[in-house]
């Protein structure tokens, strides 16, 4: 599903993360590691937000360096603490993302309804609470026809009921559409009850997979 080739991410002269040759099979993965271990750096690099040396290849042939547009259309990302233009409404952001991701017509409505966002989706984002912003970022991450969805700290600023809905989205998308997921979290995921997830352990400069 995802192949790292001579991947190196530096901040100045500091090697934040290096992955020489590593392949990840399709699935649901929980990225674990202490603060500063490189979890967010890893996800933002995979999403194409951070520049890095080397390459990342999706599905055996779509390179982030050689086919960036095709790659980004298949990889979606939700920030830990999302920031959006405050003058836009939530629905305007949804429409922008749906267009960029070539989403099926009306796809967004099922996610908006599921998260019970109907009462404020047409309000300016500047009026949103942190929980509302989090829900909006999650909806955006599920739009289109992604092969991989990256969720950075999806458990923060979200209520228990909404978290159950998120887990159901992940299960359904993985089961029905073969979508893979990578989730980072300081909190423990309830993987036994909700998700059949493997673990990716991030430790400063190395990446190790365990199942």
Token pair for 83: 């920031």
Range 108-137 average pLDDT:
97
Confidence band for 93, pLDDT divided at 50, 70 and 90: very high
What confidence score (pLDDT) does residue 209 get?
Answer: 46
What confidence score (pLDDT) does residue 194 get?
Answer: 59
What confidence score (pLDDT) does residue 38 get?
Answer: 82
The neighbour count for residue 190, using CB atoms within 10 Å, is: 13
List the beta bridge partners of residue 17. 9
Q: 2-210: what CATH class?
A: alpha beta
Write down the mean pLDDT value for the chain: 89
Determine contact, residues 32/199, Cβ cutoff 8 Å. Answer: yes
Q: Is 78 helix (H, G, I), strand (E, B) or coil?
A: strand
The per-residue pLDDT for range 140-184, each reduced to its tens digit, is 999 999 999 999 999 889 999 999 999 999 999 999 999 999 998
The per-residue pLDDT for range 193-209, each reduced to its tens digit, is 556 666 565 554 455 54
Confidence band for 77, pLDDT divided at 50, 70 and 90: very high
What confidence score (pLDDT) does residue 53 get?
Answer: 95
The CA distances from residue 194 to 92, 172, 189, in Å, are 32, 11, 9
Q: Is the pLDDT of residue 186 over 70?
A: no
What confidence score (pLDDT) does residue 109 get?
Answer: 97
| Helices and strands in the chain, H and E counts | 6, 10
The predicted model scores a pTM of: 0.90
């Amino acid at each position: 599903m995802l192949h790292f080739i001579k991947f190196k991410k530096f901040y100045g002269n500091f090697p934040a993360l290096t992955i020489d040759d590593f392949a990840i099979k399709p699935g649901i993965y929980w990225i674990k590691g202490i603060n500063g271990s490189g979890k967010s750096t890893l996800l933002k690099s995979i999403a194409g937000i951070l520049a890095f040396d080397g390459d990342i290849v999706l599905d055996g042939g779509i390179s982030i360096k050689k086919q960036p547009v095709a790659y980004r259309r298949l990889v979606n990302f939700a920030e830990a603490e999302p920031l959006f233009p405050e003058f836009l409404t939530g629905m305007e952001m949804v429409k922008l993302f749906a267009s960029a991701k070539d989403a099926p017509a009306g796809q967004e409505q099922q996610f908006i309804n599921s998260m019970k966002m109907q009462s404020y989706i047409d309000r300016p984002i500047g009026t949103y609470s942190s929980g509302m912003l989090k829900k909006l970022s999650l909806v955006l991450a599920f739009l289109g026809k992604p092969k991989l969805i990256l969720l950075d700290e999806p458990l923060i600023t979200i209520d228990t009921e909404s978290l159950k809905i998120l887990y159901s989205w992940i299960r359904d998308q993985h089961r029905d559409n073969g979508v893979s997921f990578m989730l980072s979290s300081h909190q423990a995921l309830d993987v036994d009850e909700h998700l059949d997830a493997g673990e990716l352990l991030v430790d400063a400069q190395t990446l190790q997979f365990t199942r």
